[in-house]
Structures are given as structure tokens and as C-alpha cells.
Copies of this chain bind each other. A is one copy, B any other.
Amino acid sequence: MKINSKLIEEAVDQFALLPGVGRKTALRFVLHMLKKDHDDVNRFARAITDLRSQIKYCSTCFNLADTELCNVCSNPNRQHNLICVVEDIRDIMAIESTQQFQGVYHVLGGLISPMDGIGPSDLRIEELVQRVSQLQEAEIVMALNTTMEGDTTCYFLYKKLKNLNVTLTTLARGVAIGDDLEYTDEVTLGRSIRNRTPYESTLSAS
């Protein structure tokens, strides 16, 4: 694809840096931008620069926030000794939209991954240990993905936290609601049989 204009070329290059956007899609975005008013384009650009320059990290949980404390940490109705450890803020959004969690969060900012050169010191693990050690007692829910990296990180957290006065839990793993037993992978099905739950508890949950 030949682009004759340097201005278009530069804008396409910039859009093509976005994840999952190739040069054809980037060009589509650019032509869309050219059809919009000057004001709309300026508003778009301002939203992005404002975002980058004004966004803060919550000083307690490292969630993204407009203020010093995010609105989960500043909410007195949340249980502040029930801490859900997540990889990034998308996980917070996913859990928040279930409306089933009354505690607070701690964002690690990644997972331990030696292959990518990410060690424990690159994550906010020390901050979590500090935070937990100030509480009388706490429950830590490790809501990390069940990948090699997630499991490694869980184990590292377990080692770090087990001597403190905390209960460590993880998300329940099992057959997803609506899934067909026949097509469920063996690891999940095996684990869901081993960790079977009393039928009565499922009645009260719904």
C-alpha cells in the first residue's frame, strides 16, 4: 500500500502501534479522523494526552485512579482485610462487574515470568507484604490466571505470606456454568470432581 502524504504516513504509523492494528486498519482510522470536525479530533487527542499525564495509581492498591486513593479503597463499605490480588486492572473490572466481591484489590502489575525477564522485584509484591503485615488478620484471594506464570506467582506469594496472619485462597476452579461435561478438559473436570462442593451451598449462592 503506497501512501503519498507524509502526514497520513505518520498518522498511520502511530495508529499501527496500537495492539492488533495493522496498517490497513490504521489507514481506515486515519480516513475516519479526516472526516471528523477539527473539534472532535482535538477532543480525541486531548483525551489521550490528559489520560497519560493526569492518571494516578492508587497509593494503596495500585489500581488506576483519578485521585490519590481509588474509589474501591476509599469506600468505607468495603472489607479492607479481604484483599484480592490481580494481575492488572482489567481483572478488577471483570470482578467488579460480577458484583460478588466486597473486599479490596491489589494490582501486581504483571506475573513472574523469567522468560520475559520479569522477576518478583518488578511486581508490587513487597508492597503487598507491607500492606498485609499492617493488618491484624486478612484473607488474600489470589485471582491470577492458571498459567505457568500465574501458578509461579501464586506459589511465590504463598511463600512470602504464609508466616503472616493471613488466610490464602484462590478462585474456585471447575466446570464453567453452561459448559458441556463431555467437552471439558480432563484437568478441569478432574479437579472439579476432587473439589466437589455440597449441593446445598450452590442453592444459597444463586
Contact = CB atoms under 8 A, between A and B. Distances in A.
Contacts of A36: 52
Contacts of A63: 4
Of A3, A45, A70, most B-chain CB atoms within 10 Å: A45
Interface string A64-95: 11100011100000000000000011100110
Contact of A29 (B18, B28, B64): B18
Interface in A27-57: 27-34, 36, 38, 41-55
Contact of A49 (B1, B29, B45, B55): B45
A19 B55 CA distance: 26
Contact of A7 (B2, B28, B32, B50): B50
Interface residues of A, number: 56
A97 interface: yes
A7 to B, nearest CB: 5
Nearest to A28: B19
Interface string A122-151: 000000000000000000000000000000
Nearest to A36: B52
Contact of A48 (B27, B33, B66, B93): B33
A67 to B, nearest CB: 9
Contacts of A4: 63-65, 70-72, 96
13 contacts: A2-B97, A8-B51, A8-B64, A10-B51, A11-B51, A14-B47, A31-B88, A33-B52, A34-B51, A38-B52, A41-B48, A42-B52, A45-B48
